[in-house]
Amino acid sequence: MYPSHRPRRLRRNPAVRRLVSETSVQPRHLVLPMFVREGIDEPAPIPSMPGVVQHTRDSLRAAAAEAVEAGVGGLMLFGVPAERDATGSGAVDPDGVLNAALRDLSADLGDDAVLMADLCLDEFTDHGHCGVLRPDGTVDNDRTLQLYGEMGVVQAQSGAHVVGPSGMMDGQVGVIRESLDATGFADTAILAYSAKYASAFYGPFRDAVDSQLQGDRKTYQQDPANGREALREADLDLAEGADMVMVKPIMSYLDVLRDVAGVADVPVAGYQVSGEYAMIEAAAANGWLDRERTVLESLTSIRRAGADVILTYWAAEAARWLRGGDRA
């Protein structure tokens, strides 16, 4: 009798497939990145990210409450200030747009969902880099660290449960940990963007935050050609006190996610970035892909590769799809 091995036995009907399905995506695994912009009266659509908007402070509160109602595990907040300067001072101003919005959400949501804040200067600097510049135009790692330390404290004071340093400065996790501990915020967690690549997939995000960047971030973000370096970055972040580590982007970096998940002894996150969102949205809008099935398959594959937590612009919608069932 041939074939003697028949893997199709375990695929023959929905009941057996459901029984042996290894990976699931649940609303609690998903974190919704959100943008809040200063000085607008109506939410502003982001053309390259159909369905995603820059929120006003009020529309942010409503959308955040809806996402939490849908069951998402957390929110990651990005601020778009009206004014920018060379040192990104809006980032450390307690009344800056990001910190003010954190206070709003913290008051509205309490502990119903995990409130996370992007900890980076690029949205706040007039040159668009993630740190402050030296006179020669290069990014000054160690001066930037001082500002990140301050930024973390203001975000914690404003109600962030988790801060997410995304600037890829050396030593950022250690400095932020130290300044949080020194100011009474020992319980504020750090989600380290450990392996963050200099990626073309961030294209639409630059629209989302009205990025001022000229040039690129290749002196601080990683080269997409390198995998080993991701493990070193994750090790350093863990040694500096990271509570969770993240890989970003994710769909072209599932190998990196797998490797990091294999060594990290903390939860691991993956960030499905703006360009990954835009690709699927564009294909679905053309009728070339089934939107819901494609999105859920992408989330399932990110979980399968080792992510405990997924940051995705579909978080609220996917949570609604997933609710009640154990599909995917």
Which are the catalytic amino acids?
A: 196, 248
**Contact call for residue 233 and ligand PBG (CB under 6 A):** no
CB of 233 to ligand PBG, least distance (A): 15
**Contact call for residue 166 and ligand PBG (CB under 6 A):** yes
37 annotated among ligand-binding-site residues: no
CB of 167 to ligand PBG, least distance (A): 6
**Contact call for residue 148 and ligand PBG (CB under 6 A):** no
Which of 96, 71, 187, 54 shows the shortest CA–CA distance to 104? 96
**Contact call for residue 317 and ligand PBG (CB under 6 A):** no
Residue 157 main-chain phi, psi, to 5 deg? -60, -30
How many residues sit close enough to ligand PBG to count as binding (CB under 6 A)? 10
293 annotated among ligand-binding-site residues: no
- HEC profile of 150-164: HHHHHHHHCCCCEEE
Q: How far apart are CA 193 and CA 164, in angstroms?
A: 7
304 annotated among ligand-binding-site residues: no
313 annotated among ligand-binding-site residues: yes
**Contact call for residue 273 and ligand PBG (CB under 6 A):** yes
89 annotated among ligand-binding-site residues: no
What three-state secondary structure class fits 270?
Answer: strand
Q: Exposed, middle or buried: residue 228 (CB in 10 Å: 0-12, 13-18, 19+)? A: exposed
Q: Which of 148, 185, 202, 314 forms a contact with ligand PBG (CB under 6 A)?
A: 202
Q: How far apart are CA 98 and CA 104, in angstroms?
A: 10
Window 61-120: residues binding ligand PBG (CB under 6 A): 118, 120
Site string for ligand PBG, 123-142 (x = CB under 6 A): -------x------------
The answer to whether 16 and 10 are in contact (CB under 8 A) is yes
Which of 173, 81, 74 shows the shortest CA–CA distance to 122? 81
**Ramachandran sector of residue 88 (left: φ over 0; alpha: ψ -120 to 50; beta: rest):** left
CB of 25 to ligand PBG, least distance (A): 19
Feature table: binding site for Mg(2+): 233
The contact set with ligand PBG (CB under 6 A) reads 118, 120, 122, 130, 166, 202, 205, 217, 273-274
